[in-house]
Amino acid sequence: MRFINLGTKEEACHYVANELLKQMISDHQSVLGLATGGTMKDVYARLVELIQMNQLDLSEIKTFNLDEYIGIDSDHPESYNTYMHQVLFDHFSSWNEEHIHLPNGSVEQLDVEAERYEALIDEQGPIDVQILGIGENGHIGFNEPGTSFNSLTSVVNLTESTIEANSRYFDDVNEVPKQAISMGIKSILKAKRIILLAYGPKKKEAVQQLLSGEITTQLPASVLYNHPSVEVILDADAYPNQ
Ligand code: PGA
């Protein structure tokens, strides 16, 4: 695992966008593993510019998102489906809707949906590049502390700290969904390459714990030490004192 401090949030976001662009240019049938959250907004803004500048053909790019809330419709303003369409997919008519994948958190049989999603990743993957944020509690995707490293895509309960962190997007904390369908830790590790992005002082403690090198289910991101190709891209505020 390589930790790279790029100084500013802007540099860090541009790095991640550049790596996604390079992947798409090197293989126009790339499979991208995408993440949502505040951290990724500027990554996608830059990626939109880069795709436009390079006039990329997106028709055969496939995407898999990490997670989706349960209990809100996919067209809810705060669903991750809506987020992804707003920040990335809707900017391009050549993006093939059939190649865009997010778990569907509004179906009746959620366990069946989770299994379907995992099988689809296995069928169409492996994911070439998976981008990840990190929760203040060290989660990746919605795999909260304590999650088994063998977990596959499944229905997960969000912790109070995650609900609190995500309440900034909702009018009221009570409106924040309490569950999600999330790719599991084992699903994430199937990707060929992983780039974790973290910036700002709120992420410093989780990054500090990660840097300590201890691999523990209490810090889900620490499982990334078991993967051969992981970069942790940081700004100066998230870079721990050593
Ligand atoms: P954030 O979420 O980008 O909104 O901080 C990241 C995460 O929880 O993985």
Tens of pLDDT, residue by residue over 9-27, are 999 999 999 999 999 999 9
Go through the domains of the chain in sequence order and give each one's CATH number. 2-234 (3.40.50.1360)
62: part of which helix (H) or strand (E)? strand 62-65
Q: What is the mean pLDDT of the chain?
A: 96
pLDDT at 131: 98
Residue with tokens 């179906």: 107
Tens of pLDDT, residue by residue over 199-215, are 999 999 999 999 999 99
- Angstrom distance (rounded) from CA 142 to CA 81: 15
Q: Report the atom number in ligand 1 closest to the C-alpha of 36.
A: 3
pLDDT at 239: 97
Spacing of C-alpha 132 from chain mean position: 4
Residue 137 annotated to the active site: yes
Among 14, 85, 99, 139, which one carries the catalytic annotation? 139
Give residue 192's pLDDT band: very low, low, confident or very high (50, 70, 90): very high
Lowest mean pLDDT among 5-19, 51-65, 166-180, 200-214: 166-180
With a cut of 90, say whether residue 101 has pLDDT above it: yes
With a cut of 80, say whether residue 242 has pLDDT above it: no
Ligand 1 centroid to residue 13 C-alpha, Å = 14
For the segment 40-58, the average pLDDT, to the nearest whole number, is: 97
Q: Report the atom number in ligand 1 closest to the C-alpha of 203.
A: 5
With a cut of 90, say whether residue 37 has pLDDT above it: yes
Tokens of 129: 């590049």
Ligand 1 close to Cβ of residue 65 (< 6 A): no
> Taking the complete model, does pTM exceed 0.85, yes or no?
yes
With a cut of 90, say whether residue 218 has pLDDT above it: yes
Strands of 179-182's sheet, edge to edge?
A: 67-70, 179-182, 154-157
With a cut of 90, say whether residue 241 has pLDDT above it: no
pLDDT at 71: 92
pLDDT at 151: 98
Residue 19 annotated to the active site: no
CA distances from 115 to 101, 111, 121, 142, 188 (A): 14, 6, 10, 16, 15
Helices within 190-229 (DSSP H only): 204-211
Helix 80-87 with 41-54: angle, nearest 10 deg: 40
- Angstrom distance (rounded) from CA 151 to CA 89: 29
CA distances from 181 to 85, 105, 152, 198, 230 (A): 18, 6, 10, 22, 24
Among 65, 81, 104, 137, which one carries the catalytic annotation? 137
100: part of which helix (H) or strand (E)? strand 100-101
Pocket test for ligand 1, best of 39, 69, 80 (most atoms within 8 A of CB): 39
pLDDT at 72: 92
